[in-house]
Structure 1
Amino acid sequence: MNHSKHNLLYFLILLLFHFSCTTTKNGENSGNANQEIVETEIEEEKFSNKDFPEIKRRGKLIALTAYSSTSYFIYKGQTMGYEYELLSKLAADLGLELHVKVYKSIDSLSLALQKGDGDLIAYGLAITKRRQEKVDFTSSLAQIKQVLVQRKPDNWRKIAKHKTDKQLIRNVIDLAGKTVTVRENTPYHLRLKNLESELGEDINIILADKNTSTEELIHKVANKEIELTVADENIAKLNNTYYPDIDIETAISFPQRIAWATRKQSPELKAKVNHWLDSMKNTTDFYVIYNKYFKNVRAQSKRFDSEFFSSVDHRGLLSKYDEIIKEQAEVLGWDWLMLASLVYQESKFDPKAKSWVGAVGLMQLMPATAKEYGANNPRDPRQNLRAGTKYLKWLEEYWKDIPDENERMKFVLASYNTGQGHVRDAQRLAKKYEHDPLVWNDNVEKYLLLKSNKNYYRDEVVKFGYARGKEPVHYVANILERHSRYIELLRNN
């Protein structure tokens, strides 16, 4: 950049809104890393030359990432994500504190890195020539293909697979003349343009708003709002868990490498990260983390369990833990069948249940929550229920500003599932957009669903970023519906 005395450049500095997050009692902000959410970006000033020696002296590794359902997110008050877990291990092995800056758009990451706002981009970026002009890529984390996301026929469950296949696009040649929606200048867009050249025929490429995420486009395919889109295979597989009516079997590209990125002026850091990654990829830990987010997606889908209730035995019992549930419901001031419905939703009354995120026991307590509320052995049914009840009691107090107790129950249930931070965000959005922040149905729940949409989770009133709102909304509905069924089932017992 030219800095001569005779040629001054004036830079518009956009306001940065940020805050640091640390583990708190209520689990609203958690994780071992400091987190800063960057609302907007600074215009280009000068590129940084910071490298590993300076980072080591600082004692802190600053990573840049973006919210997504795989890279970085908050679930049940815990910071999670594929990139986040790897980053935590990298920082620990380098003897550094981890600080994460979470940008609300991946388009901001490259400039922020070059400016020196962070040391590396920890987000699964496809390695492309265009990106290599701006940054250096680390050793690849994985190889992925781009796949076509399309709807299965409405009757796909009733017909043979080969008949389903005949109704789907299975050869890229058949994309000619089809309408595919993607964001502009993404690897997906570039691949479709290349396919047009290879096929010698046009594909009707619809360019989505730049703030639309791949996951939002997949959602639109599932909801019949658009015909087709393209996604990385790992993202598609994860979302296929939530949308079983979509098909993701048709690859449209050769395998592509995805990696993190460092500045071109940071060769020592790149060498350190590459050495660590090359070693890490030979360990069991690496594959455990990868499988947790990308391979074992069926375990995650259990969070969306569709069964409304369990059976009642000949004695009129829901489970052998009914008496303990009744005791704790009395402490909580709830109908015991409501608490039983929550317990079933969490664990199906299995005290040995362990979720993909590490939650354990009847009420699926995260280890930190279990410890804080006195469950030294969270697999013990009585300890687990007692600790879970204390946490629910705390949430009741947290939402005491909701005057109607039936409405308050919905806010408490949603918070138990996804963390009260995300629910409070949805409440702030509801108020901003002139909906009732004290009412759940069609009001706060609407904005919790919209927290997976960049236009909303990037809103200035939002403090906790991306949330897969479909889960807590279904969670609340399922528990309330099951509670009604339990009342019907046990009326004569």
Structure 2
Amino acid sequence: MFSLDAKQPVKESLLLLATLGLMFALAWINLSSTSLLTSIREQGILRVGTLNSPMTYYQDRSEDTGFEYELAQAFADYLGVELELQVANNLNQLFSFLNQRSVHLLASNLQLTDDRLKNFKPGPIYRHTTSNVIYRERRGRPAPKTLSDLYQKNLAVLANSSQAELLQKLNLEHPQLQFEIREEADTLDLMRAVQEQSLDFMLTDSFFFDTQKSFFPGLQKSFALGDAQPITWMLPGNADRELMQALQDFFNLESTQALIRDLEIRHFSPRQNPLNFFDTQSLRTHLEERFLPLETHFLQAAENTGLDWLLLAAVGYQESLWDADAVSPTGVRGIMMLTHPAAREVGVTDRTDPIQSILGGAQYLANMKERIPERIPEPDHTWFALAAYNVGLGHLADARRLTQQKGFNPDRWEDVRRHLPLLAQERYYTQLRHGYARGHEPVRYVDNIRKYMDILHWELQHSFGRLLSEQSETAERLDPESLREQSERILRNFAPSL
């Protein structure tokens, strides 16, 4: 009796453990069956992996932008959640994000290749692109037209890129096709190498080349290798049906298709670099047709801020050609091209209003000057403020730190000017706090404004002299008071800094 009674509690304990185990198993099954889409909505966060590059995501004047960033933001809005970006330094790290499940998807201008299809699940296809041969145009050297023109030449591609995968397949049938796979480089590095003739050819995405060509005037795009390939987002291989369906529904929306068309125009359309614009005749025409109605506002802005009115006028011309309705590819607008954060900082509610834009832009430039260290003397202090106005204080700080790391003076504009373009090179911007920037743009920006100031000064002096000459012909017919008023009007109009 004793032994039977002793076994009873053991049986009850085993039964209890079995019941708890069953309940735990059912809970685990229920938990594991929760869809990824449900998890995203419950957490309120969509985690997206991308690269810091001009094709995907970067900061422009301290605002987040880029084709993939804006499209991913739209998808997050569609789901009713916040977007959280995880920015990789290279393709290896990018795909590791997905393998380690630290992101829900990748949005980074990724071509759908055979190797990627083996490991990941593609989202909807939203664009096609080709991989084209890029060469330096030189007199006496014909452009490459066929694959055989690349045999025994110095050709390079990026590691883990779709172009590397393509060349590896072609090499099986064309062993004469030799190429280098570069680990520590980015596409702009390869373009620069071809420009400088240390490479004969490179292979890159056609869309990317079109966006950067104006900064490499010696480079041309030749034939495409292979057929056009689809561009898509990448998801884990076990991505559930609900998330895939949500993606498909989002991309099927007419509003999404309209957004993609708009983003392609703004980010990928082949166009001349507006910062290369420098046309004295056009400036003279705009001086007469556009500047005169705005003149009093520039003078008021100069009085409000203590800045040179010629400087403010030159900034306005560089930004918009004094066009109140101007809109940049990234959405900044108005005569002084204020971003949303900049407009909020200076109290501008309508960026297309000429008065608000000029007065607000002047105040924003004055704010930039206040944030530049006082120890930097003029005129460099102003050139630094202009660079910050264009590219943002964060990127300027990165360039100054990089300048110092290389043994140069971070408080001297000419030294920083030499290092700003390095912000577009992956081996540098991946080590900097604010990442990728089109570092050549603030260099051209400051150069152009300085030229416009000189031309404006000359034009206004010339006009002043001409009007004085015309005035002298009628001076005898004017009484002294009228003559004094006429002279003051000319001085106010054409030499207001006197």
* The one of 278, 299, 306 aligned to 1:306: 278
Give the superposition deviation at 1:195. Answer: 3.0
Query: Is the CA contact (8 Å cut-off) linking 1:316 and 1:490 kept in structure 2?
Result: no
- Map 1:17-416 to 2 at 5 A: 51-153=36-138, 167-198=142-173, 200-208=174-182, 210-267=183-240, 268-279=242-253, 283-294=257-268, 296-298=269-271, 301-307=273-279, 310-311=283-284, 319-416=292-389
Give the superposition deviation at 1:385. Answer: 0.5
SS at structure 2 position matched to 1:250: strand
SS at structure 1 position matched to 2:220: strand
Q: Share of identical aligned residues, percent?
A: 25
Computed over aligned residues only, the root mean square deviation of the Cα atoms, in angstroms, reads 2.5
Query: Is the CA contact (8 Å cut-off) linking 1:177 and 1:201 kept in structure 2?
Result: no
AA matched with 2:261:
Y
Deviations 1:86-109 (A, max 9, x none): 111101111111111112222201
Corresponding residue of 1:456: 428
- Which whole-Å CA distance do the structure 2 matches of 1:285 and 1:454 have between them? 28
- Which whole-Å CA distance do the structure 2 matches of 1:334 and 1:223 have between them? 41
Give the superposition deviation at 1:146. Answer: 0.5
SS at structure 2 position matched to 1:269: helix
- Which whole-Å CA distance do the structure 1 matches of 2:250 and 2:146 have between them? 39
SS at structure 1 position matched to 2:75: helix
AA matched with 2:185:
T
AA matched with 2:132:
V
Query: Is the CA contact (8 Å cut-off) linking 1:358 and 1:367 kept in structure 2?
Result: no
Larger Rg: 2
The answer on 1:422 being equivalent to 2:381 is: no
SS at structure 2 position matched to 1:468: coil
How many equivalent pairs are there? 428
AA matched with 2:135:
Q
User: Cα gap change, 1:73/1:241 in structure 2, threshold over 3 Å: closer, same or farther?
Assistant: same
Query: Is the CA contact (8 Å cut-off) linking 1:110 and 1:135 kept in structure 2?
Result: no
Greater CA drift, 425-434 or 326-335: 326-335
- Which whole-Å CA distance do the structure 2 matches of 1:203 and 1:245 have between them? 24
SS at structure 2 position matched to 1:138: strand
AA matched with 1:284:
A
Query: Is the CA contact (8 Å cut-off) linking 1:373 and 1:387 kept in structure 2?
Result: yes
AA matched with 1:89:
A
Give the superposition deviation at 1:479. Answer: 1.0
- Which whole-Å CA distance do the structure 1 matches of 2:287 and 2:83 have between them? 55
User: Cα gap change, 1:448/1:50 in structure 2, threshold over 3 Å: closer, same or farther?
Assistant: farther
Give the superposition deviation at 1:467. Answer: 0.6
User: Cα gap change, 1:250/1:317 in structure 2, threshold over 3 Å: closer, same or farther?
Assistant: closer
User: Cα gap change, 1:184/1:374 in structure 2, threshold over 3 Å: closer, same or farther?
Assistant: closer
AA matched with 1:177:
Q
User: Cα gap change, 1:188/1:402 in structure 2, threshold over 3 Å: closer, same or farther?
Assistant: farther
TM-score (norm 2): 0.80
Corresponding residue of 1:489: 459
Structure 1: which 5+ residue stretches go unaligned?
1-48, 155-163
Query: Is the CA contact (8 Å cut-off) linking 1:281 and 1:287 kept in structure 2?
Result: no
Give the superposition deviation at 1:469. Answer: 0.5
- Which whole-Å CA distance do the structure 2 matches of 1:231 and 1:375 have between them? 42
AA matched with 2:438:
R
Query: Is the CA contact (8 Å cut-off) linking 1:310 and 1:318 kept in structure 2?
Result: no
Query: Is the CA contact (8 Å cut-off) linking 2:135 and 2:222 kept in structure 1?
Result: no
Query: Is the CA contact (8 Å cut-off) linking 2:300 and 2:359 kept in structure 1?
Result: no
- Which whole-Å CA distance do the structure 1 matches of 2:277 and 2:266 have between them? 18
Corresponding residue of 2:5: none
Deviations 1:334-355 (A, max 9, x none): 3222221111111111122122
- Which whole-Å CA distance do the structure 2 matches of 1:144 and 1:313 have between them? 39
- Which whole-Å CA distance do the structure 2 matches of 1:103 and 1:315 have between them? 50
Greater CA drift, 465-474 or 103-112: 103-112
AA matched with 1:270:
M
- Which whole-Å CA distance do the structure 2 matches of 1:403 and 1:80 have between them? 31
User: Cα gap change, 1:249/1:278 in structure 2, threshold over 3 Å: closer, same or farther?
Assistant: farther
Give the superposition deviation at 1:193. Answer: 3.2
AA matched with 1:152:
E
Query: Is the CA contact (8 Å cut-off) linking 2:55 and 2:109 kept in structure 1?
Result: no
* The one of 402, 405, 425 aligned to 1:432: 405
SS at structure 1 position matched to 2:411: coil
Corresponding residue of 1:44: none
Query: Is the CA contact (8 Å cut-off) linking 2:307 and 2:366 kept in structure 1?
Result: no
- Which whole-Å CA distance do the structure 2 matches of 1:122 and 1:187 have between them? 15
SS at structure 1 position matched to 2:124: coil
* The one of 418, 421, 425 aligned to 1:446: 418
Give the superposition deviation at 1:318. Answer: 5.5
SS at structure 2 position matched to 1:204: coil
Query: Is the CA contact (8 Å cut-off) linking 2:158 and 2:185 kept in structure 1?
Result: yes
User: Cα gap change, 1:149/1:277 in structure 2, threshold over 3 Å: closer, same or farther?
Assistant: same
User: Cα gap change, 1:204/1:334 in structure 2, threshold over 3 Å: closer, same or farther?
Assistant: same
Greater CA drift, 245-254 or 464-473: 245-254
Give the superposition deviation at 1:64. Answer: 0.9
Query: Is the CA contact (8 Å cut-off) linking 2:250 and 2:256 kept in structure 1?
Result: no
SS at structure 2 position matched to 1:256: strand
Query: Is the CA contact (8 Å cut-off) linking 1:354 and 1:361 kept in structure 2?
Result: yes
Deviations 1:333-385 (A, max 9, x none): 23222221111111111122122122222111124422442222322221111
- Which whole-Å CA distance do the structure 2 matches of 1:91 and 1:311 have between them? 47
Give the superposition deviation at 1:409. Answer: 0.7
- Which whole-Å CA distance do the structure 2 matches of 1:107 and 1:195 have between them? 22
